[in-house]
Chains A and B, each alone.
Chain A
Amino acid sequence: MKSFVTLLKNELKLNIRNMNMVIFAVIIPLVVLIILGFIYGTKPAADGTAYTFLEQSFGALCCISICAGGLMGLPLVVSEYRERKILKRFKVTPVNPVKLLVVEFTIYVIYCVVSMLTLFLFAMLFWKIKIHGSLLLFLGSWLLTMVSTLSIGLLVGGIAKNMKSASVIACILYFPMLIFSGTTLPFEVMPAAMQKIISMFPLTQGIQLMKATFLGLPIENVLLPVGFMGAVIFICFGISVKCFKWE
C-alpha cells in the first residue's frame, strides 16, 4: 500500500509537470462550459422544459475529461513507458504489474474527479444548475462511464506495439467518440442509422445515462447500458492484465 501511494504521488507529479492532461482534461472542459454559459446562461433546454440547456449538457461536459484521459492520456503513457523501456526497468524490481497499471489508471481518475468538481462548482455558482434527478444515480453513471472508458484506454496502451500505433488507435477512438457520442453534437439530431452505430460506444451509453439521472428523466431499460459498460470494463481489464507486456 505504501508503495502504491509513493508511486501514485510521483507519477501524478510527473503527469502534472507534463501539462497535457491539465489542459485537455481540466482547462478545456471548463472553457467549453464558460462558452456555453455565456451563450445559453440559464435558458431552458427547449421551450417548456423544466431544466436548462447547461443542465442538459452537464453529463456531456464531464465526458470531455473522461475522453481525454481514457482515450488519449492513458494509452499513450502506458505505451510510452513500454517503448522507453521504463517498464523493463520495473521488470527487474519486485513490483506487481497490476499495481503499475492501477497507479496510472488512478491518475486519470483523479483528473476526471477534478474536472467534474470544477465544472459543477462553476456551473452552480454562475449559472445556478441543479440536479433534477438523483445525485447518487448520477455519480454512479458517471463512475461507470469513466471506468469503462479508462479501461478501453488501458487495453489500447497494453496491446499497442509502440507509441505510434497507440497514438493512431487513440485518435481513431478519441475523435469519433468525442464528436458522435453526444459529447459535442447532441445524440438526438443524428439520423437513426447513425444512432444505432454510435450506441456501440460505451461513452454514448454513459452520456445517455448521465443525462437521464441528472435531469430526472425516466430511463427505459437501465440494465442495457449498465450491462454493456460493465462488460466493457470486465473484458478490457481482463485482457490488459492477462496480456501485459513489459517490453
Chain B
Amino acid sequence: MQTAIKVEQLSKSYGNLLAIDQISLSVKYGTVYGLLGANGAGKSTTIECILGTKKADSGTVSVLGLNPKEDRRRLFQNVGVQFQENNYQPEIKVSELCDETACLYKAPADWKTLCEKFGIGSKIDHAVKNLSGGERQRLFIVLALIPNPKLVFLDELTTGLDTKARRDVWKILSELKDNGLTIFLTSHFMDEVEALCDEICILKKGKAVFYGTVEQAKKASGCEKFEDAYLMLFGEVVEE
C-alpha cells in the first residue's frame, strides 16, 4: 500500500455552485501534501469530502485503504483532523478538551507533552475560550496529534500564529514527518508551503490547475520565487 490518500474524480456542488469539480489526487505515505488556492477555491470542501463530513456528489475516496464513510470508526483511530473553524464546548478547559479527546483512542499520545511542545503547557488549566487566537490554533493542532495518527489533516494550520510560533510548528511537523507521519494541509502562506510540502495541488474555483512539486511549479511558471509562481499559475487560468 503506497498511497495514504487516493481521490478520484471528486465533485461536490452546493445548489448551483460547483464547489469542487473532478478533483483527483493521491498522497504518498510519509509525505506532506499541500492544497492551495484562494478563499472559496474549494479547499475545505475537498478536505471535508475526503473525511466524509460532507457527502460528495460523485467520485471515490480511499484513506489509508479505507472508505471514510463505511469504516469511520476504524479509520479515525489513525487519523487526526484540525478543521478550519475550531469548535469546542463553551466552558471547557484545555485539560478537559485534551482528556476528552485522548480517551477516544486506543493508544493516544501524552497530551501534556504535546501541549508543552507547542508552547501551551502553562495554559492547560485555562478555559479554551480565554486563550489567544494563536494559542487556540496550537491547541487544535495538538488535538489533531493526540491520536498518534498515521495521517493528519490540517486546514489552515498556522492562521493566526506569529512568525516564531509558525516556525516552531513547522519544525515539529517536519520532525513528525521524519518519523513517518503523512500530512495533508491547506495554507495561504507560500513560505510555509515551500518549507513543508513535498507535493502540491492548486485549486481555482473548484478545479485543480496545477499538480506537482514546488520546484516544478517554479519551473512551469518561470518564476524564481514560489509565491510569484503560485500567482502566475493562478493568473494564467484567469486569462484563458
Q: Which residues of A contact B (CB under 8 A)?
A: 2-3, 6-7, 10-11, 13-14, 17-18, 81, 84-86, 88-89, 91-96, 246-247
Among candidates B77, B79, B88, B104, residue contacting A86 with C-beta atoms closer than 8 Å: B88
Cross-chain contact B79 with A92 (CB below 8 angstroms): yes
Give bound CA distance, A55 to B175, whole Å.
68
Partner of A93, one of B83, B92, B101: B101
Q: Which residues of B contact A6 (CB under 8 A)?
A: 99-100, 103
The docked-state distance in angstroms from the alpha carbon of A86 to that of B100 is 12
Let me know if B39 is at the binding interface, CB within 8 A.
no
- What is the bound-complex CA distance between A246 and B68, given in angstroms? 15
Q: Which residues of B contact A91 (CB under 8 A)?
A: 52-53, 72
A94 in contact with B89 (CB, 8 Å): no
Q: Are A94 and B74 in contact (CB under 8 A)?
A: yes
In angstroms, Cα B7 to Cα A115, docked, is 54
Task: For A88, give its contact among B73, B83, B89 (CB under 8 Å).
Answer: B83
Interface size classification for chain B: 20 to 34
A88-B74 CB under 8 A given contacts A3-B103, A93-B104: no
B223 to chain A, nearest CB (A): 37
Determine whether B91 belongs to the interface, using a CB cutoff of 8 Å to chain A. yes
Scoring B51, B72, B147 by chain A CB atoms within 10 A of each residue's CB, the highest score goes to: B72
Docked-complex contact B103 and A94, CB < 8 angstroms: no
| B232: min CB distance to chain A, Å | 35
Which residues of chain B in 82-97 are interfacial with respect to chain A, using CB atoms and an 8 Å cutoff? Answer: 83, 85, 87-92, 96
A92 with B100: CB separation less than 8 A: no
B residues 109-129 touching A (CB-CB < 8 Å):
none
Residue pair A89, B83 in contact (C-beta under 8 Å): yes
CA distance A85 to B87 in the complex (A): 6
**B210 interfacial contact with A, CB 8 Å:** no
Given contacts A10-B99, A86-B87, A86-B89, contact A92 B51 (CB under 8 A): yes
Task: Say whether B92 contacts A14, CB under 8 Å.
Answer: yes
**Complex CA distance for A16 and B91, rounded to whole angstroms:** 10
Q: Chain B contacts of A86 at CB under 8 A?
A: 87-89
Q: Classify the interface of chain A: helix, strand, loop or mixed.
A: helix
Question: What's the nearest-Cβ distance from chain A to residue B135, in Å?
Answer: 18
Measured CA separation A59–B87 after assembly (Å): 40
A3 and B146 CA atoms in complex are apart in Å by 14
With A88-B87, A89-B83 as given contacts, are A94 and B73 in contact (CB-CB < 8 Å)? yes
CB–CB A92/B81 < 8 A:
yes
Chain A residues closer than 8 Å to B76, beta-carbon distance: 92-94
Q: Are A14 and B83 in contact, with the CB atoms below 8 A?
A: no
CB-based contact B53/A92 at 8 Å: yes
Query: Do B53 and A7 touch (CB < 8 A)?
Result: no
In the bound complex, do residue A18 and residue B99 qualify as a contact, i.e. CB atoms below 8 Å apart? no
**Complex interface: chain A residues within 8 A of B89 (CB):** 14, 81, 84, 86
In the assembled complex, B189 has its CB within 8 A of some CB on chain A = no
> Out of B52, B91, B105, which one reaches A14, CB within 8 Å?
B91
Give bound CA distance, A128 to B74, whole Å.
56
Q: A89 — which chain B residues lie within 8 A by C-beta? A: 81, 83, 87-88
CB distance from A97 to the nearest CB of B (A): 10
**A14 to B90, alpha carbons, bound, how many Å?**
9
Q: B91 — nearest CB in chain A belongs to which residue? A: A17
Known contacts: A6-B100, A7-B100, A91-B53. The answer to whether A18 contacts B73 by CB under 8 A is no
Complex CA–CA separation, A94 to B104 (angstroms): 6
Q: How far is the CB of B67 from chain A (nearest CB, A)?
A: 15
